[in-house]
Chains A and B, each alone.
Chain A
Amino acid sequence: MPIAIVVDHLSKEYRLGQISGGTLREDLNRWWARKRGKPDPTSKIGQEVSGTPAFSGGIGFDGGGVKTSAGSRTSGGYKTSDRIWALRDISFSVEQGKVLGIIGRNGAGKSTLLKILSRITAPTSGEIRVKGRVASLLEVGTGFHPELSGRENIYLNGAILGMNQREIDKKFDEIVEFSEVQKFIDTPVKRYSSGMYVRLAFAVAAHLEPEILVVDEVLAVGDAEFQRKCLGKMSDVARSGRTVLFVSHNMSAVMRLTEETIVLNKGNLALMAETPRAVDFYMSSGFAQVGERRWEKTDVPSNAAPFCPLYLRIRDSRGQIIESVRSTEPLIIEFHYRLHAAMTGLRVGLYLQTARGEMVLTTFDTDESSHFETHRTRQAGDYISRCEIPADFLNEGRYVLGVNASSYRVRRYFQEEQAISFTVDATGSPGSHWPEVRQGPIRPRLQWEIENVGIKDIRGVGHD
C-alpha cells in the first residue's frame, strides 16, 4: 500500500499568556538588543532561553514585530516557561485507504495535529508530507453566510473547502439530496433550523472527495439518522481508497470505524497500534476521561483510610462504559472502592453538578433506611456501590460527578467533587423536535393533557 501521510518529527510550540497590545516597546527593545548582540532585556534572569537556531532568521524589517507575531518562532529568545509544547517530536505514517483513529484526553495535542495537517497553522519544526488534498471537517459550515440562500452557500462553502465551480456543479444535486433541504434551497440559511443548517453544511463537506479526510467529533451533531448517514459516508470514503483521520472521544465509534489508532498524551505519541490494543492502552493507562475515573494509590490522601476509592464508571443500559449518554436511556454509575478495615455507618454518595457548577442532586447508597440497616457494618474488602439515573431525567449538556464517603456526623473519609464528567445527548427526549436549547438541568417526560373546553369561553376570558 502506498503511504498517504508521513508525519516526520513534528513539533508545535505555543506561547502562553496573552499576546496583545503594549508589546511594541518590548519588541523594539528586544529587536534592538539583538542587533547589538546583547541578551534579551525582556527575558527574566535565571531562566533558560530557548532558541531554535534553525529559525533565527533575523531579517531586518521590523524583525521583532513580524517574527514574534508569527507566533511559534523562538528566535527572539523567550523563556521556556512561557511556552508549551502542544506536540513534541511526533512521527508516524498512514497508508492510503486506512482509517486512523486519534485518541487522547483534552490537551493531548489532537486538535493541534489536525490544525497543522489542515494548514490552519504551521508547525514549529518537523514536517508532514501528504499525498493529495486534505479536507477537514474540523467544523462544518465554515463560511456560511446567513443572508445567502442554501444554493449560494453550497457554492461558497464548496469553494472555501477547495472545490472549483465545475466540481460543485457536478455534485450539486447529490449535495442537495444528501442534505434533505430540497424545498428550502433558495431560502436564506438564516431561516433554517439548526438541524437543516448542519445537514446542509455536512453535505457540502461530505462531497468534497478529498484524498485525505480529517474528522473531528462532527458526529456529535445532528440526529441519530443523520449520524448514521455521516458514518456511512466516512466508510464510503475509506472504501474508495482514500484516507481518513478520525479524532474522537467516543471509544465505541473509534473501535467500529478504525483499524489503527494513535494515542497522544501531553503532546507525545504514546502508542500507535491496532485499534483494540490502543483503546485498551488508553483506557487502562489511567489518563482516560472516557466514562471511567481511576484512582492510583498516590491520588488518594492518606487520611482517607481505611476507605480507598478504586474507580468510578459510567455505563449505559447495555453495560458499556461510555462518556456520552442519551437522555432517553438510563445510565448506571458504579463506584468501586476498597475497605482496608470493617467500617460502620459508612455512606457512599454522589454529587451531580452541571458543568457550570449548579448542583443537580446529592444521593447516598444508604438513603433507603432499610439499606442503611442491612449495610450498617461493611467488612473489609472490595465493594461496588451502584446507582441508576433513570431515563428521561437529565437535560442535554455536560455534567460533573463527584464522590463522597463519610459517616454521618462522624467523619468524612474521602471526597472529590469533580471526579468525572460526562455528556448527555437530548436526541429523542421531550421537545427535541424543536432545535432550541432547553433551560434547566432536568428534562423529564411529563404528562401533558390538552383539553378543548369550548370555543365561546375564549371571549369570556379577559373581558370579564
Chain B
Amino acid sequence: MVIRPQRTWFDLRLKELWSYRDLIGLFVRRDFVSVYKQTILGPLWYIIQPIMTTLIFTVIFGRVARLSTDGLPQFLFYMSGTIVWGYFAECLTKTSNTFITNAQLFGKVYFPRLAVPISILISNLIAFSIQFVLFLGFVAYYWFSGADIQPNLWVLFTPILVLIMAGLGLGFGIIVSSLTTRYRDLRFLVTFGVQLWMYITPVIYPISTIPERYRPFIQANPLTPIIETFRYAYLGAGSANPLNLLYSAGFMLVVLILGILLFNRIEATFMDTV
C-alpha cells in the first residue's frame, strides 16, 4: 500500500469500502441499539413519531386550514407524505454532520469514511421500513372500511423510490458535510433548509392544488415525483409519470457522484482543518 499526498478526484477506492461492510453493519446495529437503550418505549418511538406528526398535520392542515387532499382520507394522505419525506430528511440531516460528529473517531483510526454516512442510510431505512409497514396497515384498514383508495401496480416501484431518496439524501448530506468542515454555518442552514424544502415539496398538499404557472418550480424539485408516485401507487390519486421519475433518478446520480467526489477529496486531510 502506498500513502500519497493527493488522490486524484476519481480514486474512490469503493472496493476498500466493500471490504469494510462488516463495519457498516456494526454501525447500523450500534445506532439502532443505542437509540432505544434506557427508553421505556424503545423501538416504538419509530412509530410514535410519524403518527404524531401525521395527526398534527391532519388537524392543522386538514381540519383547520382545510387544504385539499385530492379526495383522499386526510390521515393516509399526510402519513404517506410524512414517512416518505421523513426518510429523505433524516438521511440528509444525519449524514450532513458526518465529519463534525465523528471527528474524534476519524482522528484516531482510518477506515473508509463513507462507511459512516452509508450506515446512516441503512439505519434510517430500518426505521422507514417499520413506518412503512405501519402505513400499509392503515392502508389496509381504510381499504376494508371502504374508503376511496386504489392501490395499483405502481407499488412495485417502491424500492426504486426508496433508492432514489436514499441517493439524494446521501448526496446532499455528504456535500454539506464536506463543506461544513470549513463553513460551519451550513450546519444551521441544513436544519432550517430542510424544513423550508418540505414546503416546496407536495408533502402537505397535492400538486393539483398548485396553480399551473407555479407547477414547473414544484416539478423541478427532485423529491416531487417521488412523493407523487408513492401516493399514486398506494392511494390512487394524483399522477405517476416515468419521465418525472427518470428526472429524479438523474438528479440523484449527479448529486451523489458530486457528493462522493467531494467527500473523498475532503476526507484525506480534513483532520487538519476540523
Contacts and interface: CB of A to CB of B under 8 A. Distances in A.
B5 A71 contact: no
Nearest to B180: A69
A262 interface: no
Nearest to A130: B1
Nearest to B27: A156
B269 interface: yes
Contacts of B272: 14-15, 71-72, 121
Contacts of B178: 66, 69
A161 B6 contact: no
A73 B6 contact: yes
A165 interface: yes
A130 B181 CA distance: 29
Contact of B262 (A15, A66, A118, A160): A66
Contact of A148 (B5, B30, B183): B30
A147 interface: yes
B262 A148 contact: no
Contacts of B184: 20-21
Given A65-B182, A122-B5, A156-B26, A72 B20 contact: no
A32 B87 CA distance: 38
B182 A68 contact: yes
A45 to B, nearest CB: 26
B269 A145 contact: no
B37 interface: yes
Contact of B5 (A55, A69, A132): A55
Interface string A137-150: 01100110101100
B269 A122 contact: yes
A116 B5 CA distance: 10
Given A72-B272, A130-B1, A65 B179 contact: yes
B136 interface: no
A122 B3 contact: yes
Interface in A198-226: none
B270 A147 contact: no
B266 interface: yes
Given A136-B109, A145-B30, A148-B34, A71 B270 contact: yes
A70 B269 contact: yes
B109 A23 contact: no
Contacts of B30: 145, 148, 152, 156
Interface string B23-44: 1001101100110011000000
A30 to B, nearest CB: 13
B169 to A, nearest CB: 21
Given A59-B9, A143-B105, A119 B110 contact: yes
Contacts of A20: 182, 184
Nearest to A128: B3
Nearest to B271: A121
Given A69-B270, A118-B110, A160-B111, A145 B4 contact: no
Nearest to B111: A160
A1 interface: no
B140 interface: no
Given A124-B5, A127-B5, A19 B273 contact: yes
A161 B105 CA distance: 11
A302 interface: no
A23 to B, nearest CB: 7
- The CB with the most chain A CB atoms within 10 A, among B22, B183, B270, B272, is that of B272
Nearest to A159: B23
Contacts of A61: 258, 262
**Which residue of B30, B106, B178 has the most chain A CB atoms within 10 A of its CB atom?**
B30
B4 A122 contact: yes
B15 interface: no
Contact of A120 (B5, B38, B109, B182): B109
B107 interface: yes
B268 interface: yes
Interface in B33-65: 33-34, 37-38
B5 A126 contact: yes
Contacts of A14: 272
A115 interface: yes
A264 B109 CA distance: 23
B85 to A, nearest CB: 28
Point out which of B9, B19, B109, B111 has the most chain A C-beta atoms below 10 A from its C-beta: B109
B1 A143 contact: no
B108 interface: yes
Q: Which residue, B5, B33, B269, has most C-beta atoms of chain A within 10 A?
A: B5
Contacts of A121: 268-269, 271-272
Nearest to B37: A147
Contacts of B22: 159, 164-165
Contacts of B270: 69-71
Interface string B242-270: 00000000000000001000100110111
A18 to B, nearest CB: 10
A161 B26 CA distance: 12
Given A24-B185, A129-B3, 17 more contacts: A57-B6, A65-B179, A65-B183, A71-B269, A72-B5, A116-B3, A120-B271, A125-B5, A134-B1, A139-B108, A142-B109, A147-B34, A147-B37, A148-B33, A152-B30, A160-B111, A161-B109
27 contacts: A14-B272, A19-B182, A54-B6, A55-B5, A59-B9, A69-B270, A70-B270, A71-B273, A118-B109, A120-B271, A122-B268, A122-B269, A128-B2, A128-B3, A129-B2, A131-B1, A138-B108, A147-B33, A147-B34, A147-B38, A152-B30, A155-B26, A159-B20, A159-B22, A160-B23, A160-B105, A188-B37
Interface of A: 14-15, 19-21, 23-24, 27, 54-55, 57, 59, 61, 65-66, 68-73, 115-132, 134, 136, 138-139, 142-143, 145, 147-148, 152, 155-156, 159-162, 164-165, 188
Give 4 nearest A-B pairs by CB, closest first. A69-B182, A71-B272, A119-B110, A71-B269
